Amino acid sequence: MIVARVLLITVMIALGSIAQVSAFSLGPINVKSKFGERFDAEIELTAKQSEKKSVAETVAAPYVVYVSSHLDVPTTRRVVNELRRKGLSAYSSPIPIDDKRKIYRVYVGRYNSWDLAREVTKQVRKLSLGKYAILASAPYVLESGNFTDEQKAREQIKLLRKKMLSPFLFITADKNFSQPRFRVLLGAFRQPESASKLSEQLSTLDISFTIDQPRRTAC
């Protein structure tokens, strides 16, 4: 039932604006990062109603579902893979705590509507892996490919996964959805500077990317 409802929501996104293609949970982790992000459920992941309206008017898909945070890669992968098996567009994003330590956040989807993201959040919370899920405002991503050919996008995703990264496919189109573009995205960040460490990692791996705010219609 949960998967069916989430799939219905995904179809609604595809028809109306955007389609998307990526635990044992520690729950919210309260840590202050010197790179500007905190990890408790109160933070960036909730916003005042006025802020929500402002963001929604300027950025078409700023909302994600924050599922859980983990201290190690194996646990993170296990959670992401389990959510994917349940039909959810799960992915992870590394966040630095300091120069040597990272925490790994697990997210689901990317949505242009606060109400839609809230509905997905409710469904994710019904899963044992997602009981701490909350709606997050995280408008920035790293884009590592923008293709007219879906197969090429999937090849890029496969390449990134081999490099131990967690990309996800995000589809944008014109208003008639007649010219879709298949975009390969990484991470979810409230501010562009929060993506600095992941940017450094991609540069070290010689992977081209741009910092972007995904929008409903293709430019």
Query: 69-122 pLDDT, tens per residue?
Result: 999 999 999 999 999 999 999 999 988 888 788 899 999 999 988 999 999 999
Domain for residue 218, yes or no?
no
The DSSP output letter for 129 is G
Domain for residue 51, yes or no?
yes
Domain for residue 105, yes or no?
yes
The pLDDT, as a whole number, for residue 98 is 83
- Is the pLDDT score of 146 beyond 60? yes
Strand arrangement, sheet containing 63-70:
90-96, 102-111, 63-70, 134-137
- State which residues form the domain around 104: 2-22+24-212
- Is the pLDDT score of 44 beyond 90? no
Domain for residue 217, yes or no?
no
- Is the pLDDT score of 67 beyond 50? yes
Enter the tokens of residue 180. 């879709």
The pLDDT, as a whole number, for residue 208 is 93
Domain for residue 219, yes or no?
no
Domain for residue 58, yes or no?
yes
Q: How confident is the model at residue 60 (pLDDT cuts 50, 70, 90)?
A: low
Count of domains observed in the chain = 1
111-139 average pLDDT score: 93
Domain for residue 64, yes or no?
yes
**Element counts in the chain: helices (H) and strands (E):** 6, 9
- Quote the CA–CA distance of 26 and 2 in Å, as a whole number: 22
Residue type at position 140 = Y
Q: How confident is the model at residue 145 (pLDDT cuts 50, 70, 90)?
A: very high
21-45 average pLDDT score: 36
Residue 40's H or E segment, with its range, is none
- Quote the CA–CA distance of 17 and 171 in Å, as a whole number: 9
Q: Provide the whole-model pTM.
A: 0.72
Q: How does pLDDT run across 160-181, given as a tens digit for each residue?
A: 999 999 999 998 877 677 788 8
Residues 6+ apart with CB under 8 A from 194: 35, 36, 37, 95, 140
Domain for residue 52, yes or no?
yes
Enter the tokens of residue 187. 């991470």
User: Which 3 state secondary structure label does DSSP give 154?
Assistant: helix
